[in-house]
Structure 1
Amino acid sequence: MNNILNTLAVGFCILAIFYIVNKLRNRKLVNEPPLVYYKYPIIGHTWDYCADVDKFLLKCKQEYGEIFSIYVYGSVITVVGKELCYEVFNSRDVSFSAAFEEKVPVARILGLPLDYMSFAAEISKNVFTAQMHLFLEKTQQSLYSGVNEIIGECDEPKIIHDLRQVLFSIVSRPVTTILVGDSLCHDNDLINIFMNFSNELYKLLKVPESLGLIHPWIFQQSLIMRFRFGRCKIKKLQEIVIEKIKPEIEERLRQERKFGNNWKPPVDCIQYLLSQPGVDKENPDYVWISGYLLAITFASMSTTVSSTTNFLLDFASRPEYWDDLLEEQEKFNPNDKLTDLDQISKMEKLDSFLKEALRLTGNVCNLIHRVTGSELKFSNGYQLPRGSNVGIYLKNVHYDDERYGPDPNKFDGYRYLGKESPTSKVSRDFLHFGMGRHACPGRIFAINEIKMLSSILIKKYKITTKSKKRPSNFIISGVSFPNPEPLIFEKRVKA
Structure 2
Amino acid sequence: MDHIPDTLIVGTCVLVIFYIINKFRNRKFNEPPLVHYKYPIIGHTWDYCADVENFFLKCRKEYGEIFSIYVHGSIMTVVGKELCHEVFNSKDASFKVAFEDKIPVARILGLPLNYMTFTAEIAKCVFNDQMLSFLEKTQRTLYREVNASIGECEEPKIIHNLRPVIFSIVSKVVTNILVGDKLFQDKELVNIFASFSNELYKLLHVPEYLGFIHPWIFRQSLILRFRFGGRKVKKLHKTVIEKIKPEIEERLRQEREYGNSWKPPVDCIQFLLDQPGVDKKNVDYVWISGQLLAATFASMSTTTSSVTNFLLDFASRPEYWDDLLEEQETFNPNDKFDNLDQISKMEKLDSFLREVFRLSGNIFSLVHRVTGPELKFSNGYQLPRGSDVGIYLKNVHHDSERYGPDPDEFDGYRYLGKNSPASKVSRDFLHFGMGRHACPGRNFAINEIKMLCGILIKKYKITIKSKKRPPNILFGGVAFTNPEPLIFENRVKA
Check the 8 A contact 1:89/1:438 in 2, yes or no: yes
Aligned to 1:268: 267
CA contact (8 A) 2:49 2:475 kept: yes
Match of 1:425 in 2: 424
**Per-residue CA distance 1:234-274 (angstroms, 9 max, x = gap):** 22211111111000000001011111111111111101111
Q: Which residue of 1 aligns with 2:206?
A: 207
SS in 1 for 2:246: helix
Q: Which residue of 1 aligns with 2:343?
A: 344
Which moves more between the two structures, 402-411 or 2-11?
Answer: 2-11
Structure 1 residues 113, 3: closer, same or farther in 2, change over 3 A?
Answer: farther
Corresponding residue number in structure 1 for 2:493: 494
Which AA in structure 2 matches 1:452? Answer: M
Q: How is 1:106-185 mapped onto 2 (pairs within 5 angstroms)?
A: 106-185=105-184
Per the TM alignment, residue 16 of structure 1 is displaced from its structure 2 partner at its CA by 4.3
**1:14 Cα offset (Å):** 2.0
Could you tell me how far 1:9 is from its partner in structure 2? 6.2
Distance 2:235 2:12 in 1: 34
Query: Which residue number corresponds to residue 467 of structure 1?
Result: 466
- Three-state SS of the structure 2 residue aligned to 1:76 is strand
1:95 partner letter: S
Following the alignment from structure 1 to structure 2, what is the Cα–Cα distance between the partners of residues 15 and 210? Answer: 15
Match of 2:385 in 1: 386
Q: Distance in 1 between matches of 2:354 and 2:289?
A: 34
Deviation at 1:220, TM superposition (A): 1.0
From the superposition, tell whether residues 30 and 223 of structure 1 become closer, same or farther in structure 2 (CA, over 3 Å). closer
For 2:132, what is the secondary structure of its paired residue?
Answer: helix
Alignment of 1:435 with 2:450, yes or no, is no
Q: 1:184-241: per-residue Cα shift (whole Å, max 9, x none)?
A: 1121111111111111111111111111111111111111112211013222211111
- What is aligned with 2:27? 28
Which stretch shifts more, 202-211 or 446-455?
Answer: 202-211
Give the drift of 1:123: 1.4
Aligned AA (1:174): V
How many angstroms does 1:29 deviate by? 3.1
After TM superposition, the structure 1 stretch with the greater mean CA deviation from structure 2, 147-156 or 212-221, is 212-221
Cα deviation, residue 3, structure 1: 4.4
Aligned to 1:302: 301
CA RMSD of superposed structures (Å): 1.2
Structure 2 residue runs without a partner (length 5+): none
Mapped partners of 1:452, 1:46: distance in 2: 41
Q: Deviations over 1:450-487 (max 9, x none)?
A: 00000000000001111011001111111111111111
| One-letter identity of the residue aligned with 1:413 | G
1:8 Cα shift? 5.0
Moved over 3 A (4+): 2-10
Answer whether contact 1:13 1:214 (CA < 8 A) is retained.
no
Match of 2:240 in 1: 241
CA distance in 2, matches of 1:14, 1:274: 51
Amino acid at match of 1:102: D
Match of 1:98 in 2: 97
Amino acid at match of 1:385: P
Residue 362 of structure 1 contacts residue 475 of structure 1 at CA under 8 Å; is this kept in 2? no
Matching residue's letter, 1:276: Q
What TM-score results when the alignment is normalised by the length of structure 1? 0.98
Residue matched to 2:79: 80
Contact 1:424-1:443 at 8 Å conserved across structures: yes
Pairing of 1:448-487 with structure 2 (within 5 A): 448-487=447-486
Deviation at 1:7, TM superposition (A): 3.5
SS at match of 2:308: helix
Aligned mates of 1:4, 1:34 — CA distance in 2 = 42
Residue 158 of structure 2 contacts residue 485 of structure 2 at CA under 8 Å; is this kept in 1?
yes
Match of 2:184, SS?
coil
Give the 3-state SS of the residue equivalent to 1:276 in structure 2. coil
Corresponding residue for 1:398? Answer: 397
Aligned 8 A contact 2:29 2:383 in 1: no
Name 2:373's counterpart in structure 1.
374
Paired residue type of 2:188: D
Give the secondary-structure state (helix, strand or coil) at the position aligned to 1:134. coil
Relative distance call for 1:237 and 1:61 in structure 2 (3 A) is: same
Q: Aligned residues: percent identity?
A: 74
CA distance in 2, matches of 1:418, 1:11: 63
